């Protein structure tokens, strides 16, 4: 009788229902089993998949087959021939088309009832409200910078009560997958409860760079010879001309120089494909690693959405390089985290202009953020871009921040801008708790409590 929303027969949700309609002793808190859970999941749960590459394709398929019906996917890339071995939703005739659009279409064709909205753009192109709309954000990304940005966006929704306890209804859960060759991880991030991406940023060591002296004087491996040709010899010979990794002639030049270097030092193993791999920092992608990690992420999303089991606590690592090894580690939150904590407290004089405040931020000891755009309670205080918004908000720069924030003595503002991460500039979003001092119209301290 329960096949009213089933196209592929009444057994379609048999396995899902085993999880949702039965009680158990590892269920999450407040779990109430019953068929309505599946209906609620399908009607209300809204998941954003960030990335439509190797992991993203898997995630969309897994989430759709797990009963989620309202999915959206965001990815700025177009399909390349080299994606086709593992990004299984794409075909040769799709090369050149946006990944998000093709992935959404393919999963909708195969899984009836699911609706997937694609977004072919950069993650920074969407405003904060866009991200606020989702119950869960699933990350299938390969860059630290993009993870860091999404993490800061998700954490920006988090509010703390007057006892500095996170308000549960403001928690934006994330599940994050990552793979590198035969290794992978899946983690659950509940901002304010489990460590956010920034709390454990040290898990991602900076990219290995060879010391220049090794490259120049004592090369020992084929990779050293390639990096010598790429980083040192190229500049010596070509002066100011910048190296373009996508130009086959440039790559060929580096390859032949690396070969000469390798012969000189009696080193073997320099090939054209290794040259590409080293120069472009390509790590081979393994389809099964993506499948395993995505499965873990989709399961965690389903747990969060329905509570049928306790969540992973909180970081799973998988290693298929030698034998097969999985392990779950519970990492701890950094209570001083700039991203998921209650926000950086900044005291400002009530007469300080917005421009002066921006100058202060640039020199702030723990928060150096440049080119900031600022939002207070959904209202743009100042926007660096697009030009039309910059022009509209420019006159605010001369006004006191206190007035712009509606003369509220203590409140939170969100700042997006640029920070330096691992020597690279990257987009960031920070939450600032502004407290005004000076003449704040005699507002009593007690009215300010929990003012955010
Ligand atoms: Zn954190």
- Give every strand in the sheet of 115-119, ordered side by side: 115-119, 70-74, 46-50, 136-140, 174-180, 183-189, 315-319, 325-329
Residue 341 C-alpha to ligand 1 middle, in angstroms? 6
Q: How far is the centre of ligand 1, averaged over its atoms, from the C-alpha of 107 (Å)?
A: 34
Task: Kindly name the residue from 121, 167, 213, 225 that is annotated as catalytic.
Answer: 213
Query: How far does residue 88's CA lie from ligand 1's centre (Å)?
Result: 34
Cα–ligand 1 centroid distance for 128 (angstroms): 18
Q: How many Å lie between the centroid of ligand 1 and the Cα of residue 190?
A: 10
- As residues whose CB is below 5 A from the ion ligand 1, the structure lists 196, 198-199, 337, 339-340
Q: Active site includes 213?
A: yes
Check residue 250 and give left, alpha or beta (phi > 0: left; psi -120 to 50: alpha): alpha
Domains of the chain: 14-205+286-329 (3.40.50.720), 212-279 (1.10.10.520), 344-448 (3.10.290.20)
Helical H segments across 123-270, by residue range: 128-132, 144-156, 212-217, 222-227, 234-238, 248-264
Strand partners, 348: 436
* Ligand 1 centroid from CA 275, angstroms: 38
Taking the centre of ligand 1 as the mean of its atom positions, its distance from the CA of residue 219, in whole angstroms, is 40
48 contacts 176 by C-beta, under 8 angstroms: no
Q: Residue 180: in which H helix or E strand, if any?
A: strand 174-180
With vertex at residue 215, the alpha carbon angle to CA 214 and CA 216, rounded to the nearest 5 degrees, is 95
Ligand 1 centroid, distance to 338 Cα (angstroms): 7
Q: Which backbone phi and psi does 385 adopt, to 5 degrees?
A: -155, 160
What does the alpha-carbon distance between residue 28 and residue 308 come to, in Å, rounded to a whole number? 6
| Count of CB atoms situated within 10 Å of the CB of 92 | 8
The tens-digit pLDDT sequence of the chain (452 residues) is: 444 444 456 688 999 999 999 998 889 888 999 989 999 999 999 999 999 999 999 999 999 999 999 999 999 999 999 889 889 999 999 999 999 999 999 999 999 999 999 999 999 999 888 999 999 999 999 888 899 999 999 999 998 887 889 999 999 999 999 999 899 999 999 999 999 998 998 877 665 667 778 888 888 999 999 999 998 999 999 987 888 888 999 999 999 999 999 999 999 999 999 999 888 877 778 999 999 999 999 999 999 999 999 999 999 999 998 899 999 999 999 888 888 988 888 999 999 999 999 998 888 887 778 888 998 888 899 999 888 889 999 999 999 999 999 998 888 888 888 887 667 788 888 888 899 988 776 554 444 444 43
- Whether 37 contacts 19, CB under 8 Å: no
The b/e string for 334-362 (b: 16+ C-beta within 10 A; e otherwise) is beebbbbbbbbebebebebbbeebbeebe
The C-alpha atoms of residue 13 and residue 9 are separated, in whole angstroms, by: 9
Would you give the DSSP letter of residue 403?
H
Reported as a single tens digit per residue, the pLDDT across 354-382 is: 999 999 888 888 777 888 899 888 889 99
Ligand 1: distance of its center to the CA of 58 in Å? 27
Relative orientation angle of helices 272-279 and 248-264, to the nearest 10 degrees: 110
């Amino acid at each position: 009788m329960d096949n009213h929303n089933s196209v592929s027969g009444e057994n379609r949700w048999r396995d899902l229902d085993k999880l949702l309609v039965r009680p158990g002793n590892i269920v999450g808190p407040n779990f109430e089993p019953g068929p309505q859970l599946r209906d609620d999941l399908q009607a209300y749960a809204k998941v954003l998949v960030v990335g439509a590459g190797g992991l993203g394709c898997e995630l969309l398929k897994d989430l759709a087959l797990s009963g989620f019906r309202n999915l959206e996917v965001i990815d700025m890339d177009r399909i390349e021939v080299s994606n086709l071995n593992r990004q299984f939703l794409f075909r040769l005739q799709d090369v050149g088309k946006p990944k998000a659009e093709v992935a959404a279409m393919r999963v909708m064709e195969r899984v009836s009832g699911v609706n997937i909205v694609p977004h072919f753009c950069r993650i920074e192109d969407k405003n904060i409200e866009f991200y606020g709309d989702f119950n869960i954000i699933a990350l299938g990304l390969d860059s630290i910078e993009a993870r860091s940005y999404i993490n800061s966006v998700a954490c920006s929704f988090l509010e703390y009560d007057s006892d500095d306890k996170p308000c549960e209804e403001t928690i934006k859960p994330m599940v994050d997958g990552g793979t590198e060759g035969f290794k992978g991880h899946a983690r659950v991030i509940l901002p304010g409860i489990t460590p956010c991406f920034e709390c454990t940023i040290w898990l991602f060591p900076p990219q290995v760079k060879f010391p220049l002296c090794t490259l120049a004087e004592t090369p020992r491996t084929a990779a050293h010879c390639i990096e010598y040709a790429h980083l040192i010899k190229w500049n010596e010979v070509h002066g100011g001309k910048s190296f373009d990794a996508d130009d086959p002639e440039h790559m060929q030049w580096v390859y032949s120089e690396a070969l000469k270097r390798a012969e000189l030092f009696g080193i073997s193993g320099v090939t054209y494909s290794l040259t590409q791999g080293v120069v472009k920092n390509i790590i081979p992608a393994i389809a099964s690693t993506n499948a395993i990690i995505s499965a873990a992420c989709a399961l965690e999303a389903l747990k969060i959405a329905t509570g049928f089991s306790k969540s992973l606590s909180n970081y799973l690592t998988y290693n298929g390089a030698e034998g097969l090894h999985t392990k779950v580690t519970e990492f701890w939150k950094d209570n001083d985290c700039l991203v998921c904590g209650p926000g950086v407290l900044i005291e400002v004089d009530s007469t300080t202009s917005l421009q002066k405040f921006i100058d202060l931020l640039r020199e702030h000891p723990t928060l150096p953020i440049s080119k900031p755009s600022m939002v207070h309670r959904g209202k743009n205080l100042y926007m660096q871009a697009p030009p039309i918004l910059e022009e509209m908000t420019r006159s605010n720069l001369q006004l006191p921040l206190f007035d712009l924030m509606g003369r509220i003595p203590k409140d939170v503002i969100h700042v997006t801008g640029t920070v330096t991460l691992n020597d690279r500039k990257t987009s960031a979003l920070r939450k600032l708790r502004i407290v005004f001092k000076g003449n704040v119209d005699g507002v009593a301290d007690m009215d300010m409590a929990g003012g955010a």
